[in-house]
Amino acid sequence: MDTLTAKDARGNVHCTINFESWIATPEEQLKLSITVNTVSGIVSFIIGFSMPMSFIVICYGFIAAKICRRGLLNSSRPLRVLTAVAVSFFVCWFPFQLIMLLCNIWTKETPYIVHIMVNPASTLASFNSCLNPILYVFLGQEFREKLIHSLSARLERALREDSALNNGKARNLSSYPEDSEL
């Protein structure tokens, strides 16, 4: 099985799978190609969005239940973080996955607006990777406090080490006899 390129009515070039060795008539080849595109779009939607979203909801549900069961819920902040991360995944990834699904299902004439929306939707999906750390920092008070404490402790340790190195060099330089010849 190999690939070939074909032009549609608008002049756009598409890369498709060549089914000539399997099916003899062009009508059957087109039907099989449409079926393969549709199935691959559905499988991609399931694997790329539905399964990860399900895992997030299930895992975060278990975490929330454990937090509530152990009585660690002094405030609603941990639940807000979990909810915000799950909602941000849905909001960022659903448009992209939906557009890709529509592109694969609408094989005859995909509306132009769908093609226009691919780039903004993929940008939004990529933004989810940047958004998660921001959500943890701004919504997680303990995380923010530990981060600030950790950064200040590291800075203090680095300055102490730098100071000790400089003092050691100064002592070593002052221990050399001035009138010694090299």
Mean pLDDT lowest for which of 105-109, 119-123, 140-144, 149-153? Answer: 140-144
Q: Are 61 and 134 contained in the same domain?
A: yes
DSSP code, position 29? H
Q: Are 120 and 144 contained in the same domain?
A: no
- pLDDT average, residue stretch 22-35: 71
Q: Are 110 and 32 contained in the same domain?
A: yes
Residue numbers of the domain that contains 42? 2-139
Under the banding of pLDDT at 50, 70 and 90, the label for residue 36 is: confident
pLDDT single digits (tens) 154-169: 777 777 876 666 666 5
Q: Model pTM?
A: 0.61
Mean pLDDT, all residues of the chain? 76
pLDDT single digits (tens) 55-67: 999 998 888 888 7
Under the banding of pLDDT at 50, 70 and 90, the label for residue 180 is: very low
Task: For residue 179, tell me if it sits in a domain.
Answer: no
Cα 149 from Cα 155, distance rounded (Å): 10
Residue in 141, 150, 124, 134 with CA at minimum distance from that of residue 79:
141
Q: What is the pLDDT of residue 94?
A: 94
In the chain, alpha helices (H): 26-45, 51-69, 77-105, 112-139, 141-175
Q: What is the largest CA-CA distance in the chain?
A: 100
Residue with tokens 């807000």: 80
Task: For residue 182, tell me if it sits in a domain.
Answer: no
Q: Contacts from 136-140 at CB under 8 Å and sequence distance 24+?
A: 136/81, 136/85, 139/77, 139/80, 139/81, 139/84, 140/77, 140/78, 140/81
Residue 50 has pLDDT above 90, yes or no: yes
Most confident of 97-101, 112-116, 160-164: 97-101
Under the banding of pLDDT at 50, 70 and 90, the label for residue 121 is: very high
Q: Are 20 and 86 contained in the same domain?
A: yes
Q: Of all helices (H) and strands (E), which one includes residue 108?
A: none
